[in-house]
Structure 1
Amino acid sequence: MIKAIAVNAANNVAGHFGKAPEFAVYDAQGQLVERMTNSGSKAVGCKHKKQLQRRFGELGVQEIVLGSIGQRSLARLLSAGFVVSQVAARTSIGDVLAGTAHKLNLTEAEQGRPCKREKGDCGCGCGTKKAAAPKIGMMMNTMTRLSGLSGIKLK
């Protein structure tokens, strides 16, 4: 099984999926296939996470090993068919590859961390609902001044 492991600067498992500086991709024999730089590790939003997911798919990654992950990112990875495994942050890559690290398979989005921002505040539009168009008869802001309208006269 091809694995992508979120790694930190000390070459251990990173504490968070989206903030991991790199991902080390290993083949089924434990040989390093590629080290991917997470160029968006300090960015706000989901665009860089979607790019990572696309690259994982291109490399044939089946399992993603990480320290923690947010609910939205976890839901996206699970729906794309990835196996997502959580290990303690700062676990050595050697322990992960040897199978001696305690892994928890994440199978539901609720197992991820709740988003710290309100829906849509990450700037990418995820989780936002489109504002409903005003309907006839809806109340309007009474502080708004209307101009150019003449009064309606009743007979």
Structure 2
Amino acid sequence: MSIAIAITPHHEVAGHFGKAAGFVVYDEQGQLIAELVNSGRREVGCKHKKQLQAQLAEHQVKTLLLGNVGQRSLARLLRAGFDVFRVPNRSSVQDVLNGKVTREPLLSAEQGRPCKREKGGCGCGCGSKKTEKPAKIGMTAGGNSNLQGLTKIGGFKL
């Protein structure tokens, strides 16, 4: 079981999960075991946040400490079994590890920061249902031509 802290480039607690420069991962004895870089922190969407979650899980992180997190990311983290705590932004990592700052447990998605975009408007499709695209000439489905729904090709009726 490990603890991860979202950090800024100056190794202070980052203000937001998805925009953190990286994460420092400590074991139960407080020994640094990994430092993860958030290479997608400037990206829009959820893909890099899902990748961060997977990296944290690979390092057997159980507890996540951060400044803030969006509602969707928080919901995904809680569903995955992470214990998430909010600590003051810009706190030193050492103060967090030594228990010198307050930890607010985040137990439901509503405690996260509301999304600034409309549902699914971040460009990654989160929160929106996928619609089946209509068949086009030349498209194949499983190796067979998909002509379902076509009534004319080049003026010729089928």
Range of TM-score over shorter length: 0.7 to 0.9
Inter-partner Cα distance in structure 2 for 1:11 and 1:56: 18
Q: Which residue of 2 aligns with 1:67?
A: 67
Q: Could you tell me which amino acid in structure 2 is paired with residue 49 of structure 1? A: K
In structure 1, C-alpha distance between the alignment counterparts of 2:19 and 2:57, rounded to whole Å: 19
Q: Distance in 1 between matches of 2:129 and 2:55?
A: 28
Q: Partner residue of 1:39?
A: 39
TM-score (norm 1): 0.82
Give the strand-richer structure, 1 or 2: 2
- Measure the CA separation in 2 of the matches of 1:129 and 1:46: 15
Q: Please, which moves more after superposition, 54-63 or 124-133?
A: 124-133
| Alpha-carbon distance in 2 for matches of 1:95, 1:21 | 19
Distance 1:28 1:131 in 2: 46
The match for 2:17 is 17
SS at match of 1:62: strand
* Cα offset, 1:129, TM superposition: 2.9
Alignment identity in percent? 59
Asked if residue 123 in structure 1 is aligned to residue 123 in structure 2, the reply is yes
Deviation at 1:69, TM superposition (A): 0.3
In structure 2, what is the equivalent of residue 4 of structure 1?
4
Alignment partner, residue 147 of structure 2: none
Query: What are the residue-to-residue correspondences of 1:1-155 with 2, within 5 Å?
Result: 1-130=1-130
SS of aligned partner of 2:61? coil
Q: CA offsets per residue over residues 79-127 of structure 1, 9 Å max, x none? A: 0000000001001101111111100010000000000011111111111
- Corresponding residue SS for 1:84: strand
Structure 2 unpaired stretches of 5+: 134-154
Q: Displacement, 1:77? A: 0.1
Give distance in 2, aligned partners of 1:31 and 1:131. 48
Q: Which has the larger radius of gyration?
A: 1
Task: State the TM-score, normalizing by the size of structure 2.
Answer: 0.81
CA distance in 2, matches of 1:131, 1:110: 28
- Secondary structure of 1:73 counterpart: helix
Task: List 4+ stretches of structure 1 deviating above 6 A.
Answer: none
**Amino acid of the residue matched to residue 43 of structure 1?**
E
CA RMSD between the two structures: 1.5
